[in-house]
Amino acid sequence: MVKMDGNQVTFRGRYLASGAGHQPLLRALYWMGRMLEAGEDPHYIARKMIRFASEDVGNADPQALQVAVSAMEAFHFVGLPEGDLALAQAAAYLATAPNSNALYTAFQKDQRDIREIENMPVPLHIRNAPTTLMRDLGYGKDYKYPHDYADLFVEEEYLPENLKGKIYYQPSDQGFEREIKTRLEHWRKKKGEKAPPPSLSPFEEEGKEI
């Protein structure tokens, strides 16, 4: 029986880092195997892989989240000892997937602005207007329905007044995010906008060490 030797946190850290750093596949499988053999809760491993799929792989490979969730569901259905292979399969996939934390960085900035910047009202033109009174108050007035326009594209602002022009998500050049980036650049050119400056993490913007 392998033991953690009182250093469970180190085992967990090595396992997660082996995926985030694109280390050889063998390392991710090795550390996960050590954790299971030492008695780590498999649900903890599954939960961390789901988080890793969103935070470290992100939209560079959207399939990664499906793989991680499927592994968790498979383990719930099968249990030990057979279910460990589903976890290993997900670990192998995540360890070899392209990495991007662009979505994680975008959401961190979004949450920071929600906490720190005054919450302005929803713009009138994108408010639903199910009643005559709401329509009389200007709810939904001049709203542009994208499906009525070529390329399903409209030049319209959806953010509150004090956040106009704010850009949170800047996809990387990794994996599927290249396609997302191309799509966003196409829409930006149609609006006559310049490309935004490179995105910084909230830590970098505040001059903190990561």
Contacts of 86 by beta carbon, 8 Å cutoff, 6+ apart: 70, 71, 74, 75, 78
**Does 16 have pLDDT greater than 80?**
no
Return d(Cα 4, Cα 9) in angstroms, integer.
9
The fraction of the chain above a pLDDT of 90, given in percent, is: 60
Task: Tell me which range, 13-17, 90-94, 195-199, is most confidently predicted by mean pLDDT.
Answer: 90-94
Q: How confident is the model at residue 17 (pLDDT cuts 50, 70, 90)?
A: low
State pTM to two decimals.
0.79
Asked whether residue 79 falls in the same domain as residue 55, the answer is yes
Count how many domains the chain has: 2
Domain span holding position 15: 8-96
| Same-domain check for residues 201 and 114 | yes
- In this prediction, residue 209 carries a pLDDT of 44
Give yes or no for residue 191 having a pLDDT over 90.
no
Whole-number Å distance between alpha carbons of 53 and 28: 14
Confirm whether 119 is domain-assigned.
yes
pLDDT tens figures, 94-143: 999 999 999 999 999 999 999 999 888 999 999 999 999 999 999 999 99
Specify whether 120 is located in the same domain as 85: no
Q: Is residue 143 part of a domain?
A: yes
Looking at residue 164, which CATH number applies to its domain? 1.10.3710.10
